[in-house]
Amino acid sequence: MSPSPRKKTAKAARAAVDAELATFASDPELAEMFVADGLDHLGTIEQTVLKLETSPADLELVNDLFRPFHTIKGNAGVLGIGSVEAFSHKLETLLDLARSGSHPMGPIEIELVLNAVDLLRLMIKELPARAAGEVVTDVASRCQHVMAGVDAAIASGATAAVTATGPGEETTDSGATWLAEDSTVKVSTSKLDALVDMVGELVIAQAILAEDPALLRSGDERLSRQLAQVKRITGDIQRDAMSMRMVPIRRTFQKMVRLTRDLSKTFNKPTTVAIVGEETELDRKLVEQLTDPLMHMVRNTIDHGIEPPDVRAAAGKPPTAVISLKAFHRAGGVVVEIADDGAGLDTERIAARAVALGLIPDAGVLTAAEIHQLIFRPGFSTADRVTELSGRGVGMDVVRRNIQALRGRIEIQTERGRGTTFSLQLPLTLAIVDGLVLRVGQDRFVIPTPAVKESLRPRPEDVHTTHGRPCMVQVRERLIPLLHLGDAFGIRGTRERISDGTVVIAEDNGRPVALVVDELLGKREVVIRSLGEMFRGVSGIAGGAILGDGRIGLILDTGGLLALAARTASSGAM
């Protein structure tokens, strides 16, 4: 092997790195810390600015703003990232004036700080890509614009004595504050994920050991006592490892506050956000994936739910609307609520729209709750006009899909003229699911217990056929589509007659499907593992789980199975 060509590329790459990123590129650990730390501080700044907007005279808040900017500047200085340092320095100058009371923080200043936060976030996020020599967003002109804005603001506002150095002596401390904090340790999320995976493996290994036939046969009491001890410790480790990956939902809620602020201006519908339970903790991965659906919902609420101020006034409501975000633990899971005091869902209008779109034949047979569920149907939108942010009919169905992907449920409560509450019920973690193990031929599958409604052994007369093939099963006056898992998945050696096997009724958002299986093997907790990129697009399968004997059972996805059942029914044959 001749190493020369590889060396050459590496050299070329190094030459391409911006001069100011030399330290950043050479110390990946420090670089990672800087990025994580910076984004953290920007989150704090954003939160503080939004508070400041409501109480502009609070100098304590200005001080709280100054400090994180100062830290970012200091850290950037240590790493020699001039662009970030100069930009944050400019903002720091403004805030320094503000905290000494010589420059008031008006709407212009707040807008400037928020713009700066957005730009800094972009710059810092893209640093690793930049260090790798990739082309990144050119923010220079936008930075110039903000910096010019700051200069203008200072020039116009600070007619009073311009005291360049503020009171606190913090300005002179070393910038690298992260080095001083020792009560917490920052660990990269990939390391944490790896730990949680390994602990999952340990739990499984322990379960396999506990079920070992040789052990069960031996009946040695001392051995089983020691095993029970191992089991207890393993459980403790698992709980602790999981808790390390738990984060408060605060950051996500803050994003909604910012979004609401921006959107209420766009739509000219003054709206504030009230937050309850921002300290509620849930799995980091869940929090990440919750942001998008929540943003969609807030957009929808402001666009469709909240009335314009004059309409509100006419209805005797305060002109400023309130969206309340609430998070709390319930029954081993987490509930996130988005409530507004807007117009509420218009049941008649939704029904009329659904009929017009051909989603339902006739609204007469549906209850109000069933009609409200229609807003989650793909392509549904009652907005008469297509707005910039919502009204394209891609909102709520995406929300529901995202929530389902997190194994959660979404419920609506609404009252005309009083408002709407969307309630998301989510599992505490994505890593573990309580499942029912099914046997089909020689294969085993796991279906998440929350999706299972009941299981039964159908009488032959309850199984209805089309074209000679069983396609529906009657359960207490209700016809439910059948899906023969063995046929659908091409598994050999399954039972011939449905009435000899077992039918599991699973539900996905109120739509049932009857799965024909050979046997129920029992309930157990399993660690969900992704099957990886290769199996993306396989419908009806959500992942894999390592079962007690070390073999993999596939985890079923009810939504995908319903689609499969529909396809099977429409094609008539397989």
**Residues contributing to the site for another protein (CB under 8 A):** 1-3, 5-6, 8-9, 12-13, 16, 132-135, 197-198, 200-201, 204-205, 443, 488-491, 529-541, 544, 546, 550-554, 564, 567-568, 571, 574
Nearer to another protein, 369 or 574 (CB): 574
- Helix, strand or coil for residue 428? coil
- Alpha carbons within 13 A on the beta-carbon side of 247: 15
Q: Do residues 329 and 282 lie in contact, with contact meaning Cβ atoms separated by under 8 Å?
A: no
Closest CB 507 distance from another protein, rounded Å: 22
Residue 508 is encoded by which pair of tokens? 């996905």
In sequence order, what E strands does 277-391 have? 281-283, 321-330, 333-340
* Minimum distance, C-beta of residue 431 to another protein, in the bound complex (Å): 13
Q: Judge whether 76 and 50 are in contact, CB under 8 Å.
A: no
Q: Is 444 helix (H, G, I), strand (E, B) or coil?
A: strand
Q: Residue 136's CB: how many other CB atoms inside 10 A?
A: 15
As measured in angstroms, the least distance from the Cβ of 177 to another protein is 33
| Closer residue to another protein (CB): 196 or 290 | 196
CB 186 within 8 A of CB 36: yes
* 302 vs 436 by CB, closer to another protein: 436
Residues ≥6 apart with Cβ < 8 Å to 120: 38, 42, 72, 84, 87, 88
Residue 564's alpha-carbon distances to 33, 84, 155, 203, in angstroms, are 46, 52, 67, 33
* CB nearer to another protein: pick between 334 and 561: 561
| Minimum CB–partner distance for residue 443 and another protein (Å) | 7
User: Least distance to another protein from the beta carbon of 551, Å?
Assistant: 5
As measured in angstroms, the least distance from the Cβ of 438 to another protein is 14
| Residue number, 155 or 198, with CB nearest to another protein | 198
Whole-angstrom Cα distance, residue 37 to residue 34? 5
| Cα distance between residue 274 and residue 334, in whole Å | 19
Our CB check for another protein shows the closer of 96 and 557 to be 557
CB 198, min distance to another protein, A:
7
Nearest to another protein of 384, 533 (CB atom): 533
Q: Name the amino acid, one letter, at 319.
A: P
| Residue 498 DSSP label | G
Strand 478-484, strand 469-475: pairing = antiparallel
CB of 76 to another protein, least distance (A): 24
Separation between Cα atoms, residue 434 and residue 512, nearest integer Å: 20
Q: Which is nearer to another protein, 31 or 554 (CB)?
A: 554
- The rounded Cα 432 to chain-centroid distance in angstroms is 17
